[in-house]
C-alpha cells in the first residue's frame, strides 16, 4: 500500500508520495514491484489514487517491445483504470479531490478546434500518442525510482495514463469525472476496451437495427463490438477467431455465428458472403493483422459495406487494398477510443448504465480478479488467451 494517500485527510497535497508501482525495466522483462516517487501535479494536472486497473493487449505489445520506436524504459504501463482524485494542480477547475475518475488515453481539453468539432474525438494537444512518454506541461516525468546502482532515475509515462501504480499523475484532460455511485471495478473497463468496441459499433459505424456484422478477432475489443451491435439490434453478428474457446464467451455477448478460419476450408470472406447473401453491412477488424484486415474488407457487401479498423498494427506493411476497390461502394475507416469524446460523453454513458437505460454486460468481460501484486500472472493469462480482462485491485 502507499505510504501516504488521500485517505489521510489530504495531507499529501503539494508533496511527493511514495507508493508501489509495477515498473517495466526493459522489453520482454517481467514487471517489477518497486517503490516509486510520485511528484505533485503540475499546472492542469491531477494526481489520482488508482483503485482498480486492468490489462489490455496494448500493454502486452508495449511490454514485448514489438515496436522499437516506442521503447523507452523504465516505464509504468497501464491504461485501463478507475480511481479517486487525490489532488489537483494549478488551473484545474473541473476536478477536485475525492472525485471518482476514469483515466483516458485519448484526452479532451474542450477548447481546441478539434474538441469543438463534431467530426472527430481527437484533441489537438492531448490525443493518444503511442510515442509520448512525458507530460505535456514541461516534457518531464512525475515518477522516479532508485535503480540497482542506487541512483534516482525518472520513470516514463505511457499513453497519457500509467495506471500500473497506486498513484499516477494525469493531464486533467485525460481524467473523466463519473457518477460516484458507479462501481469502479467495472467502470475501469471504460478506459479502453468497452468504450473502444461499443463506440465503434455505435459512433463509428452507427450499426442499424436488423443489419449484419462480422467481427474479426474476439478479444475484449471485438466482443465489445459484439455487445454494441447486439444493443443496436443487429440481426446477425458473426465472430471470426482461430481460438474456438472464445466462442462460448461470444454467445454471451450476442454473437450469433462463429467462423474458425483454420476449420472452414475456404477464405473467410467467401463463407461470410454465403451466410449473408453477398456480404455483411459492417465488418470490424480487431486483430492487428493486415491479412485479416483484407478479409474483413472483402467480406462486406459491395455498394454500402463499411469496414472499421480497430486492431493495433505493429507491422510496417501497408494497407492491403487497391484504390480501385473503393469504387464498388465499400468504405474503410479507423477508430480511436470508439469515437467517444471522453470527458464530455463518457459521464452520460455511465449514468445511462446506472439507470438501466443502457445494458452493457460489464461482468461478462471480467474473467479474472487478482491483487495488484499478481500482475505478471495476469499478463501470462492474457498472453495465453485465457483472460479477457483481469481486474487488479490496488
Strand partners, 46: 88, 170
How far apart are the C-alpha atoms of 286 and 217, rounded to whole Å?
Answer: 5
> Does residue 390 carry a catalytic annotation?
no
Distance (Å, whole) CA 270 – CA 277: 10
For this structure, is 230 an active site residue? Answer: no
Known catalytic residue at 264? no
Catalytic choice (115, 174, 335, 353): 115
User: Does residue 57 have an active-site annotation?
Assistant: yes
Cβ atoms 315, 340 nearer than 8 A: no
174 is catalytic: no
Q: Where are the domains of the chain?
A: 17-193+340-393, 205-334
Average pLDDT for residues 39-62, to the nearest whole number?
Answer: 96
Least confident of 3-7, 249-253, 361-365: 3-7
What would the CATH number be for the domain defined by 205-334?
3.40.50.720
Tell me which of 34, 49, 53, 80 is the catalytic residue.
80
The mean per-residue pLDDT over the stretch 265-279 comes to 97
CA of residue 316 relative to chain centroid, distance: 22
Query: Looking at residue 177, what DSSP letter applies?
Result: E
Q: Could you read off the pLDDT of 103-127 as tens digits, one per residue?
A: 999 999 999 999 999 999 999 999 9
Q: State the Cα–Cα distance between residues 192 and 176, nearest whole angstrom.
A: 13
| Residue 56: active-site member | yes
Strand 282-285 to strand 212-216: parallel, antiparallel, or no bridges (unpaired)?
Answer: parallel
123 has catalytic annotation: yes
Pick the catalytic residue: 188, 192, 353, 390? 192
- Arithmetic mean of pLDDT, 43-63: 95
Please confirm, yes or no, whether 301 is among the known catalytic residues: no
pLDDT tens by residue, 160-201: 999 999 999 999 999 999 999 999 999 999 999 999 999 999
What is the arithmetic mean of pLDDT over 49-73? 86
Architecture of domain 17-193+340-393: Alpha-Beta Complex (3.90)
- ω into 74 cis (within 30 of 0): yes
Amino acid at each position: 500500500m502507499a505510504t501516504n494517500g488521500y485517505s489521510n485527510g489530504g495531507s499529501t497535497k503539494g508533496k511527493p508520495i511514495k507508493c508501489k508501482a509495477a515498473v517495466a525495466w526493459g522489453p520482454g522483462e517481467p514487471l517489477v514491484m518497486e517503490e516509486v516517487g510520485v511528484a505533485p501535479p503540475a499546472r492542469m494536472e491531477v494526481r489520482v489514487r488508482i483503485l482498480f486497473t486492468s490489462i489490455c493487449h496494448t500493454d502486452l505489445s508495449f511490454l514485448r517491445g514489438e515496436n522499437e520506436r516506442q521503447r523507452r524504459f523504465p516505464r509504468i504501463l497501464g491504461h485501463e483504470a478507475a480511481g479517486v482524485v487525490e489532488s489537483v494542480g494549478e488551473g484545474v477547475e473541473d476536478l477536485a479531490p475525492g472525485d471518482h475518475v476514469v483515466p483516458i488515453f485519448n484526452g479532451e481539453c474542450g477548447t481546441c478546434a478539434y474538441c469543438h468539432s463534431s467530426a472527430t474525438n481527437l484533441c489537438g494537444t492531448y490525443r493518444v500518442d503511442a510515442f509520448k512518454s512525458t507530460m505535456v506541461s514541461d516534457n518531464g516525468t512525475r515518477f522516479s525510482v532508485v535503480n540497482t546502482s542506487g541512483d534516482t532515475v525518472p520513470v516514463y509515462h505511457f499513453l497519457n495514463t500509467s495506471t500500473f501504480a497506486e498513484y499516477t499523475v494525469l493531464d486533467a484532460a485525460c481524467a473523466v469525472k463519473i457518477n460516484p455511485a458507479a462501481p469502479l471495478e467495472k467502470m475501469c473497463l471504460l478506459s479502453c476496451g468497452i468504450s473502444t468496441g461499443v463506440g465503434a459499433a455505435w459512433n463509428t459505424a452507427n450499426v442499424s437495427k436488423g443489419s449484419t456484422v462480422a467481427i474479426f478477432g474476439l478479444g475484449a475489443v471485438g466482443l465489445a463490438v459484439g455487445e454494441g451491435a447486439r444493443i443496436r439490434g443487429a440481426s446477425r453478428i458473426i465472430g471470426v477467431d482461430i481460438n474456438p474457446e472464445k466462442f462460448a464467451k461470444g454467445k454471451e455477448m450476442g454473437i450469433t455465428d462463429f467462423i474458425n478460419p483454420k476449420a472452414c476450408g475456404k477464405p473467410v470472406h467467401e463463407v461470410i458472403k454465403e451466410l449473408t447473401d453477398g456480404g455483411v453491412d459492417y465488418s470490424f477488424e480487431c486483430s492487428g493483422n493486415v491479412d485479416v484486415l483484407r478479409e474483413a474488407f472483402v467480406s462486406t457487401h459491395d455498394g454500402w459495406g463499411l469496414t472499421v479498423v480497430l486492431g493495433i498494427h505493429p507491422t510496417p506493411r501497408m494497407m492491403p487494398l487497391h484504390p480501385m476497390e473503393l469504387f464498388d461502394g465499400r468504405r474503410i475507416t479507423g477508430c480511436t477510443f470508439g469515437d467517444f469524446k471522453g470527458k464530455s460523453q463518457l459521464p452520460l454513458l455511465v449514468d445511462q448504465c446506472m439507470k438501466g437505460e443502457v445494458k452493457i454486460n460489464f461482468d461478462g468481460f471480467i474473467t479474472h480478479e487478482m491483487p495488484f501484486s499478481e500482475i505478471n500472472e495476469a499478463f501470462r493469462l492474457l498472453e495465453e488467451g485465457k483472460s479477457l480482462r483481469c481486474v487488479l485491485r490496488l
